[in-house]
Amino acid sequence: MISITVFGISGLVIVILMTAKRLEEKRRKSFFILNMISKGDIHTRELYHKAVRLYSEGKEKTSFLLKRRVPIHAKNSMNKLLSFLKEKREQYVSNMRDSRLLKKPDGISEFFKNMSNIEKGNGEINDIFGNGSQEDKKELE
């Protein structure tokens, strides 16, 4: 039903436009509806040209942004991140050197001395460590 109505209205508009054009040619006087169509066509053409210009400018700006600015910004951010991580690493390395465990007399150096004694057979191992199998657990019980 809607398509029949639209078809009827469009046919009626075509007939009115053809009649107005013929009357305009005979009387040499323009009709209001034809003036409106001409002005609408001019405005539509201007809008089309503005849209094409905006599209081309936007395309150029986007291309420049993606090809030039984004890589430069990414490189800059990466350099800042690397320098920040380097500073933090140096800070933690210096903190590790000043650690309390290393300053104790029985710190890391004592640990390595004890390990060398154990490897030579001079030390004792009090804890029993198995490989975690079921048989080792049964033996311990």
Q: Which pLDDT band holds residue 130 (cuts at 50, 70, 90)? A: low
Q: How many CA atoms lie within 13 A of 31 on its CB side?
A: 15
How confident is the prediction for the chain on average, in pLDDT? 78
Q: CA–CA separation, 125 vs 3, rounded Å?
A: 95
* Mean pLDDT lowest among 25-39, 93-107, 122-136: 122-136
Name the pTM for this structure: 0.41
Q: CA–CA separation, 84 vs 86, rounded Å?
A: 5
Indicate if the alpha-carbon torsion angle 44, 49, 53, 56 is positive or negative: positive
Q: Which pLDDT band holds residue 72 (cuts at 50, 70, 90)? A: very high
* pLDDT given at position 101: 54
Q: CA–CA separation, 100 vs 109, rounded Å?
A: 13
Query: Is 11 within 8 Å of 19 (Cβ atoms)?
Result: no
Q: How far is the CA of 117 from the CAs of 2, 113, 120, 123, 127, in angstroms?
A: 99, 6, 5, 5, 16
Report which of residues 36 and 78 the model is more confident about: 78
pLDDT tens track for 79-120: 999 999 999 888 877 766 656 555 555 555 666 666 666 666
Report whether pLDDT(26) > 80: yes
Q: CA–CA separation, 55 vs 49, rounded Å?
A: 10
Indicate if the alpha-carbon torsion angle 135, 136, 139, 140 is positive or negative: negative
Q: CA–CA separation, 66 vs 38, rounded Å?
A: 42
* pLDDT given at position 4: 92
Q: CA–CA separation, 118 vs 116, rounded Å?
A: 5
